Amino acid sequence: MENIVSLCKRRGFIFQSSGIYGGINGCWDFGPLGVELKRNLKEDWWYNFVGQRDDIVGLDASIIMHPKVWEASGHLDEFHDMLVDCKECKKRFREDHLETEVCPDCGGEFTEPRTFNMMLKTRLGANDATAVETYLRPETCQAIFANFKEVYTSSRMQVPFGIAQVGKAFRNEINPRNFIFRSREFEQMEIEFFCKAEDEDKFFEEWKTHIWQWYLDIGLDEDKMRWYSHPQESLSHYSSRTEDVEYEFPFGWGELQGLANRGNFDLTQHTKFSGKDLSYFDPQTNERFMPSVIEPSAGADRTAMAILCNSYEEEEVGDKGDTRVVMKIHPRLAPIKAAVLPLVKKDGIAELAQDFERKLRKKFNTFYDQSGAIGRRYRRMDEAGTPFCICVDYDTKEDGTVTVRDRDSMEQVRMPMDDVAAYVQGKCSFERD
In degrees rounded to 5, what are phi and psi of residue 214? -60, -40
In the complex with ligand ATP, which residue's Cβ is closer, 183 or 271?
A: 183
In the complex with ligand ATP, which residue's Cβ is closer, 191 or 384?
A: 191
d(CA 5, CA 13): 9
Determine, following the binding rule CB under 6 A, whether residue 296 of this chain makes contact with ligand ATP. no
Concatenated DSSP letters for 73-121? TSHHHH-EEEEEEBTTT--EEEGGG--SSS-TTT-PPBPPPEEEE-PEE
Determine, following the binding rule CB under 6 A, whether residue 199 of this chain makes contact with ligand ATP. no
d(CA 166, CA 48): 13
Residue 307 Cβ vs ligand ATP, minimum distance, rounded to whole Å: 13
Residue 256 Cβ vs ligand ATP, minimum distance, rounded to whole Å: 6
Applying the rule CB under 6 A, the residues between 247 and 266 that interact with ligand ATP are 255-258
Determine, following the binding rule CB under 6 A, whether residue 301 of this chain makes contact with ligand ATP. yes
Three-state SS string across 235-282, please? CCCCCCEEEEEEEEECCEEEEEEEEEEEECHHHHHHHHHHCCCCCEEE
Residue 171 Cβ vs ligand ATP, minimum distance, rounded to whole Å: 5
Determine, following the binding rule CB under 6 A, whether residue 297 of this chain makes contact with ligand ATP. yes
Residue 340 Cβ vs ligand ATP, minimum distance, rounded to whole Å: 36
In the complex with ligand ATP, which residue's Cβ is closer, 172 or 268?
A: 172
In the complex with ligand ATP, which residue's Cβ is closer, 258 or 342?
A: 258
In the complex with ligand ATP, which residue's Cβ is closer, 77 or 418?
A: 77
What's the residue count for the chain?
Answer: 433
Determine, following the binding rule CB under 6 A, whether residue 144 of this chain makes contact with ligand ATP. no
Residue 100 Cβ vs ligand ATP, minimum distance, rounded to whole Å: 20
Q: Which stretch binds ligand ATP (CB under 6 A): 119-127, 179-187, 318-326, 389-397?
A: 179-187
Residue 382 Cβ vs ligand ATP, minimum distance, rounded to whole Å: 28
Determine, following the binding rule CB under 6 A, whether residue 135 of this chain makes contact with ligand ATP. no
Q: In the chain, what are the helix, strand and coil shares in percent, each to the nearest 5? A: 35, 30, 35
Residue, CB closest to ligand ATP:
299
d(CA 345, CA 367): 16
**Alpha-carbon distance values, 291 to 62, 205, 210 (Å):** 24, 18, 21
Q: Which stretch binds ligand ATP (CB under 6 A): 53-61, 121-129, 182-190, 201-209?
A: 182-190
Residue 211 Cβ vs ligand ATP, minimum distance, rounded to whole Å: 11
Residue 25 Cβ vs ligand ATP, minimum distance, rounded to whole Å: 12
d(CA 386, CA 375): 14
In the complex with ligand ATP, which residue's Cβ is closer, 258 or 291?
A: 258
Binds ligand ATP by CB under 6 A, chosen from 142, 188, 396, 403: 188
Residue 298 Cβ vs ligand ATP, minimum distance, rounded to whole Å: 6
Greatest Cα pair distance in the chain: 79
In degrees rounded to 5, what are phi and psi of residue 23? 85, 165
By the 8 A CB rule, do 38 and 28 touch? Answer: no
Determine, following the binding rule CB under 6 A, whether residue 171 of this chain makes contact with ligand ATP. yes
User: What distance lies between CA 240 and its chain's CA centroid?
Assistant: 25
Please enumerate in sequence order all residues whose Cβ is within 8 A of that of 18, keeping only pairs 6 or more positions apart, or say none.
Answer: 24, 27
Binds ligand ATP by CB under 6 A, chosen from 302, 332, 377, 379: 302
**Alpha-carbon distance values, 379 to 143, 176, 217, 315, 321 (Å):** 45, 33, 26, 11, 15
Determine, following the binding rule CB under 6 A, whether residue 396 of this chain makes contact with ligand ATP. no
Strands 161-170 and 56-59: parallel
The residues of the shown chain that bind ligand ATP, judged by CB under 6 A, are 139, 171, 173, 182-183, 186, 188, 255-258, 297-299, 301-302
